[in-house]
Amino acid sequence: MLRTSRILSQRLVQQQHAWKAVGVQHVRNVTNSTTDEKTGPPPQYGTFRSPAAALGVLDPPVVDHNNWIKRKQQKLRDFVDYEKAFAAHAAERRHLVEEATKSYFADVHEMRKHGGKMYYASSQMIKPEKAGYMPNFEAQDLSRKKINTTEKLVGKVTLMSFVYAKFGEPHVETFIQPFLNKYKGSSDIQVVEVNVQENLLKQLLLKAFVPLIRKNLAEERRDNYCLIMKDISKTRKSLDMTNQYIGYVFLVDENCKVRWTAHGPATPEEVGNMLAMTDYLVEKKNTSGGNEKK
């Protein structure tokens, strides 16, 4: 009886050692598989996608200085142009269907998945022949004066930021601050900040807080701070600004072409690439008059 119990106890001890060995090996395998996989996103983010190959619109931006009556007359002329009217109605229907089928909390759910970072910014600029134009936006500055963003972009290399919600402000600051630290005072390089409010109630709140924004903003940033108080959801799709809780930045050359974009909190690599690309664009602008080799 004693001999049998000893044999059973020895077998149990051997099985425990075997289980421990298997467990340790399993942990090692899992650890190696996670550490060796360097191509995926960090754990705090969700599934990444590739950055857009091209951004912006095909046609160069046009600044419309017509008054209200002339604009209405132009709309009437476009209305009787059946091809143009049909294309506009088709685009409007597609937009309405997308908006109707999109959940009100879709942007919030998306934020939970990727934490504010949908992809890492590209390490290469978009070639000039493939780059689209930054659309013109009718906005107002902090003095309530109406402006057109295209007039600010022409002839300068610009870091243009877009913010739709308070949550996105720290995102763009991670790009703007190092950009200003290097290029502050430069006549060929600038930052243009755009605050967009598409919701009617938020527009009223933004108007009330304009004096506070002006007071808290650094003096050198006030002249290029723009307020857009209307729905630009159709236009922002061309710039891949799909989530309103994320801050976006765009590197725009002197011809108003979008050459690079990033979003969310900046990484050191993204900041380094942004500054290097800016140096390249300024050098090409000054040496070849903006006629960059394709």
Percentage above 90 pLDDT, the chain? 46
Distance from C-alpha of 194 to C-alpha of 226, rounded to nearest angstrom: 5
Question: For position 236, what pLDDT does the model report?
Answer: 87
Contacts by 100-108 with C-beta closer than 8 Å and gap 24+?
Answer: 107/243, 107/244, 107/245, 108/245
Q: Does 99 have pLDDT greater than 70?
A: no
Over the range 249-273, which residues count as b (16 or more CB within 10 Å of their CB) and which as e? bbbbbbbbbbbbbbbbbbeeebbeb
Q: Is 173 left (phi over 0), alpha (psi -120 to 50) or beta?
A: alpha
Distance from C-alpha of 69 to C-alpha of 106, rounded to nearest angstrom: 39
Q: What is the mean pLDDT of residues 112-120?
A: 78
Question: For position 262, what pLDDT does the model report?
Answer: 96
The string of pLDDT tens digits covering residues 45-87 is 445 678 888 889 998 888 876 655 655 555 565 555 656 555 5
Question: For position 50, what pLDDT does the model report?
Answer: 81
**If DSSP codes are grouped into helix, strand and coil, which group holds residue 64?**
coil
Question: For position 197, what pLDDT does the model report?
Answer: 93
Q: Does the predicted model carry a pTM greater than 0.85?
A: no
The string of pLDDT tens digits covering residues 141-178 is 999 999 999 999 999 999 999 999 998 999 999 999 99
Distance from C-alpha of 290 to C-alpha of 254, rounded to nearest angstrom: 7
Percentage above 70 pLDDT, the chain? 64
Q: Does 34 have pLDDT greater than 50?
A: no
The CATH architecture one would assign to domain 118-288 is 3-Layer(aba) Sandwich (3.40)
Q: Does 209 have pLDDT greater than 80?
A: yes
Q: What is the mean pLDDT of residues 178-199?
A: 94
Rank 90-94, 101-105, 109-113, 232-236 by mean pLDDT and report only the highest. 232-236
Q: What residue ranges do the domains of the chain occupy?
A: 118-288
Q: What is the mean pLDDT of residues 238-263?
A: 94
Mean pLDDT of the chain: 78
